[in-house]
């Protein structure tokens, strides 16, 4: 198991810091966020330390992803939410504040204070085709 001795999520995952756990597997924990966007907001955290989502091995990502529907159903049912957001912030520029990859499951209500949706951009000319080509080329590369 890989862990960072300075990482707060590693310390939580290994029981060194208390948390309100709602689910545990051999590979992950699910806890209530201590500073929720909306009450009932949980975090799906791998026990192994991986700083960003791009660092998570595919098999571990599959396990974490398999927990998300079950956790989302439980959060929505427990809170009476009208919907939910499932978000991964990857990198400081994307809003990641703890350098240990994790999924947010946030219950949503029509009267909550969360500002949504994000602004959107449009592609021009052949930008979309060029971007699709570049991403496809990267996906065709070696699998980690």
Confidence category of residue 140, pLDDT binned at 50, 70, 90: confident
Does the pLDDT at position 1 exceed 80?
A: no
Catalytic residue among 63, 102, 104, 120: 102
Confirm whether 102 is a catalytic residue. yes
List, for residues 33-58, the tens digit of each pLDDT value.
999 999 999 999 999 999 999 999 99
pLDDT at 40: 97
- Longest pairwise C-alpha distance within the chain: 53
Cβ atoms of residues 76 and 42 within 8 Å: no
pLDDT at 39: 97
Residue of 79, 126, 87, 100 whose CA lies nearest to 28: 100
What is the DSSP code (8-state) at residue 119? P
Confidence category of residue 134, pLDDT binned at 50, 70, 90: very high
Contacts of 7 (CB under 8 A, 6+ apart): 49, 98, 99, 100
Domain boundaries, the chain: 8-139
* Full-model pTM: 0.91
Q: Which CATH number fits domain 8-139: 3.40.50.2300, 3.40.710.10, 3.30.428.10, 3.10.105.10?
A: 3.30.428.10
Residue of 118, 87, 84, 92 whose CA lies nearest to 102: 87
């Amino acid at each position: 198991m890989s862990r960072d001795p300075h990482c707060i999520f590693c310390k939580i995952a290994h029981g060194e810091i208390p948390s309100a756990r709602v689910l545990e597997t051999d590979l992950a924990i699910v806890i209530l966020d201590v500073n929720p966007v909306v009450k009932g907001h949980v975090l799906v955290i791998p026990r192994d330390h991986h700083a960003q989502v791009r660092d998570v091995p595919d098999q571990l990502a599959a396990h974490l992803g398999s927990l998300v529907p079950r956790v989302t159903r439980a959060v929505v049912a427990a809170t009476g939410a009208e919907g939910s957001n499932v978000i991964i912030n990857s990198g400081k520029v994307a809003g990641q504040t703890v350098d240990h990859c994790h999924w947010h499951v946030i219950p949503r209500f029509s009267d909550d204070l969360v500002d949504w949706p994000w602004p959107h951009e449009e592609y021009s000319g052949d930008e979309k085709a060029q971007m699709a080509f570049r991403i496809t080329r990267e996906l065709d590369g070696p699998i980690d």
